[in-house]
Chain A
Amino acid sequence: MYSFHYRRPTALNEALAVLHADSEAKMLAGGQTLIPTLKQRLAQPTALVDLSRIAGLSGIQKTAEGVTIGAMTHHADVARSPIVREVIPALADLAGQIGDAAVRNRGTLGGSLANNDPTADYPAAVLALNAVVSTDHRSIPADAYFQGLFETALEEGEIIVAVEFPQVDKAAYAKFRNPASRYAMAGVFVAKTAAEVRVAVTGAGQSGVFLWEEAGDVLASDFSPAAVDKLALDPSDLMSDLHGSAEYRAQLVKVMTKRAVASIA
């Protein structure tokens, strides 16, 4: 770790002031990604702006449309929230499958989305549910938010404040874990509304989370595992590494999609 200044503002505009004055300053949420990065000396921020004391950044609210979750809400709190369990149980399931207990007790929704790791779980839910990422000065729909590997629509110093998840008819998340890291090798979130079915895939794509539109289309007319059976996902845009080839990931995406559908069909 290199040395850095540590700030812990209590108000959002205080945080913004520091971040806007110093482009080398970085936000600190749960630190589950950032701290290991610092320890390995892979980043050298001038300052860390700890968001944990800013009022209103964490918590879970039921809304007319669904549920709104503060950016600083820990994965563990989402996993055991009665509100989330009632409104979008699949989202609670997903949160409960992130990392291990220690990671879930520190890691946050906002940190996960800001980081946009191609193997992280939350991006699949946000994209499939067509959630809205709200920041200190605007609202970004999921379709516009994810822009590639570790890339998002966030501007420099823009703080995620909360995420608004709309309620859907049915949703499920099926995750195939990387045997070593236990991040997703293929995480598929299926969300069904009256109008459409959205199938979002994390862990497999070369440019991060993506919508498997073909699957969404067939499931819209026939919401059954058998409908997915006929499909073949093109592996050319999928990741290939030590843990599995692109072809293997294509297979896993298909199987996880079927299993997600089977669990709610």
Chain B
Amino acid sequence: MTATDASAFSTVTPIGAAVRRKEDHRFLTGKGRYTDDFSRPGQTFAYFLRSPHAHAAIRSIDVSAARAMPGVVDILTGADLAEDKIGDLICGWMIHSKDGSPMKMGSHPALAKGKVRYVGDHVAVVIAESLHQAKDAAAAIAVDYEELPVAAGLATAQEAGAPQLHDIAPRNTAFEWELGDRAATEAAFAKAVRVVSLDLVNNRLAPNAMEPRAAIGEYDAGDEAYTLWTTTQNPHVARLVLSAFVGIAPEHKLRVIAPDVGGGFGSKIFLYAEETVCAWASKRVGRPVKWTAERSESFLSDAHGRDHLTHAELALDAGGRILGFRVHTRANMGAYLSTFASSIPTYLYGTLLSGQYDMPAIYCEVDAVYTNTAPVDAYRGAGRPEATFLVERIMEKAARELGEDPAEFRRKNFITKFPHQTPVILNYDTGDYAASLDKAMQMADIAGFPARKAEAARRGRLRGIGYSAYIEACGLAPSSAVGSLGAGVGLWESAEVRVNPTGNVEVLTGSHSHGQGHETTFAQLVSARLGIPIDQVTIVHGDTDKVQFGMGTYGSRSGAVGMSAIVKALDKVEAKARKIAAYLLEASEGDIEFKDGKFTVAGTDRAVPFAEVALGAYTAHKFPTSEIEPGLKEGAFYDPINFTFPAGCHICEVEVDPETGVTDIVKFTAVDDFGVVINPMIVEGQVHGGIAQGIGQALLEGVTYDSDGQLVTGSYMDYTMPRADDVPRFDVGLTETRCTTNPLGIKGCGEAGAIAAPAAVINAMTDALGTEDVPMPATPATVWRICEAQAAARRAAE
């Protein structure tokens, strides 16, 4: 950074200013420190022997030859886990089936015990002096597998006679959940004038964080304490699970450090086998144990996202108003229930099925199904993209069947009065859906679309336009509410504001930044509030020994919940500083005003700057310490009283080349209501990234397993990650209704793009192609097949 750039951070930064990201200098100059950048004295390297089979019984594992190989320190298997009484990995959200029975959680050991259930499942770990020696030895481990029939497909895994993954879960069904009022919904359908139905596949995605997962476990025999450096979005939650459930060590003997983390998108929320094993094994071998995933291991073993099969029906009255919505979804859980897997297709999905619409009755059933594939859990949006895709696809289809304009059909059904109680738990506090729709329509030049379509047709291209009026529930989440729904944790957030004697500030937050820019946004908030330059504020996060217990970052919660905790702590700091300032100014506390970083006696020019009050707090010379404690450091826990509800309207315009099936996104408009925006540049970046992932889901990405459960898309040769030239320029705009339930009025922006974009793109594609049946990813080959089938039908008709 040049001197001029640095000076940009030496000013007070108001809320709403597009401050450049403080952390980018570190990242862009290679000074970031990621887990793999750390080396511990005497460290060893772990390599995981993974199952080559999707489903097999392990008859025996013979490690004797491997043990004798050069450099091998130890080789551990499930039997060693059992010997040390290490518990299984768990799923922390209890879901009950319709019949009241608890979900059927199949045993999920960190190293296989007798059976492997997906390609990439962990069979043994080799710990050696070097990674190459570990790999050499792993190749010498003799595993006697008895291959079992494979249940690879979601569509057939529940059938009688399908191979069973877990004895505890007949028909491979973890739970059969329901939400909403079945009778009321049946009644709504009984009086419907028209029923629109739709079958959808929501394709499975690989998360693909830029930094692969990694871990270093270290045991200090003197303190009898462990340290685990790992790529996690929520270090305290990782520690809690490792301690309370897996039983590695008591919480106070386990330090989890998440240093710089290069992207997560949900995939780093969960506690995986690898970091568990690195922590545990470090004591067994008496040396630090390091593991870093190779990209192919990421494809195999990072929890995937989405993967639903859904049938839905929408009941409409004669005027085209929605009477009821009925949904049956089968959600693929993969081979085991990952840390939060059960909550994703249930409380983060079914609760969003009302969309932006006034739906009097909703009934949703979800079957969670085990298959011989990698576990599926939260991925950017987590349940909410699946809900939006369904709602917005069926709304588009309904408008077409009714012959109504898709925008006006939506508008007619919008919720316009707030607060609004949906039939699926959520209570929307505020919103103005028509405002976002109108602004998006104007920016997208809807009026000019017919002319553009005609012009494209003259060039032999098919143009289409599609809407996605999405809503999401963010700011996870009111603790008692999620507790009553089965969550094993509360979803509040914590903050501590430490003002130093010289007036600069450290904020310890339970949120965790892995690309979101918290070091800037959070500091911006403090700068604006205390009137001190942003470079006087440091955000501390990601270390359980430094930071008080916190819940971490996911579900667009860090702004709405994490920053609210900071606001609460700042309130306390200010209150105390006011008292101290009153003594310093020899005035009564009621006369003190705090503005622009100065405490002033109202109506006078007598003032002390914030830094002087900070110093005064620590010298403690000028106030009675029997009344006011010395120091200036305050903590707060903030528990939200409601979810927040970001919403907006995205419009996508595509042009399809029927000769090759190539889809060109010619225009993408996104108008979002995120409530109050702290840093518009960071928000815009989040929108861009989210849309890129949404376009990826719609046109490019899809995890594919073959019928033997082998991963076909195991590298970037076959898994299509969006590249810069796959995405168009984004026209983004904002509308604003303040969130009414948190102090800053923030709703959250981290997932909106990924939630909204797939439906916008596919609605545009279905419009262009004149068929509702456009699967994701709509690759050129798929689109061409559709065009060809249509051409063949036309030829047959002639």
Contact = CB atoms under 8 A, between A and B. Distances in A.
B785 interface: yes
Interface string A224-247: 000000000000000000111101
Contacts of B721: 180
B720 A179 contact: yes
A143 to B, nearest CB: 30
B135 A181 contact: no
Given A245-B781, A252-B660, A181 B717 contact: yes
Nearest to B721: A180
A255 interface: yes
A1 interface: yes
Interface string B712-753: 110011111100000000000000000000000000000000
B700 interface: yes
Contacts of B659: 251, 255
A2 B132 CA distance: 8
Among B132, B296, B660, B779, the most chain A Cβ lie within 10 Å of the Cβ of B660
A180 B719 contact: yes
A1 B784 CA distance: 41
B87 interface: no
- A interface bracket (residues with beta carbon within 8 Å of B): 10 to 19
Nearest to B136: A2
Contacts of A40: 296
B780 interface: yes
Contacts of A181: 716-718
Interface in A124-178: 176
A212 interface: no
A34 to B, nearest CB: 16
Given A179-B700, A244-B781, A255 B660 contact: yes
Contacts, number: 45
A156 to B, nearest CB: 27
A159 B680 CA distance: 58
A1 B720 contact: no
A180 B716 contact: yes
A244 B661 CA distance: 11
B427 interface: no
Nearest to A245: B781
Contacts of B661: 248
Interface residues of B, number: 22
A247 B789 CA distance: 12
A242 B784 contact: no
Contact of B781 (A2, A41, A243): A243
A176 B721 CA distance: 17
Contacts of A176: 660
Nearest to B662: A176
Interface in A14-56: 40-41
A134 to B, nearest CB: 31
A243 B785 CA distance: 12
A255 B787 CA distance: 15
Contacts of B700: 179-180
A244 B713 CA distance: 14
B485 to A, nearest CB: 39
Given A1-B132, A255-B659, A255-B660, A248 B781 contact: yes
A244 B779 CA distance: 9
Interface in B126-153: 132, 135
Contact of B779 (A1, A243, A251, A255): A243
Contacts of B781: 243-245, 248
Contacts of B712: 242
B516 interface: no
A248 B784 contact: yes
Nearest to B712: A242
B704 interface: yes
B318 to A, nearest CB: 45
B660 A242 contact: no
Contacts of B296: 40
Contacts of A244: 779-781
Interface string B692-721: 000000001000100000001100111111
Contacts of A1: 132
Interface in A47-96: none
The residue in B135, B716, B780 that gathers the most chain A C-beta atoms within 10 A of its C-beta is B780
Contact of B720 (A41, A180, A247): A180
B34 to A, nearest CB: 20
A176 B662 CA distance: 10
A180 B659 CA distance: 20
B779 A179 contact: yes
Contacts of A255: 659-660
A243 B660 CA distance: 13
B780 A242 contact: no
Given A242-B704, A252-B660, A180 B718 contact: yes
A191 B721 CA distance: 34
A40 B661 CA distance: 34
B86 to A, nearest CB: 30
A180 B717 contact: yes
A228 to B, nearest CB: 12
A242 B719 CA distance: 10
Nearest to B785: A248
Nearest to B781: A244
Given A242-B704, A242-B712, A255-B659, A179 B717 contact: no
Contacts of B780: 179, 244
Given A179-B780, A181-B718, A252-B660, A242 B713 contact: yes
A181 B721 CA distance: 10
Given A179-B700, A245-B785, 14 more contacts: A176-B660, A179-B720, A180-B716, A180-B719, A180-B720, A242-B713, A244-B780, A245-B781, A247-B788, A248-B661, A248-B781, A248-B785, A251-B660, A251-B784
Interface of A: 1-3, 40-41, 176, 179-181, 242-245, 247-248, 251-252, 255
The 4 closest A-B pairs by CB, nearest first: A244-B781, A180-B720, A181-B717, A179-B720
5 contacts: A176-B660, A180-B716, A243-B779, A251-B788, A252-B660
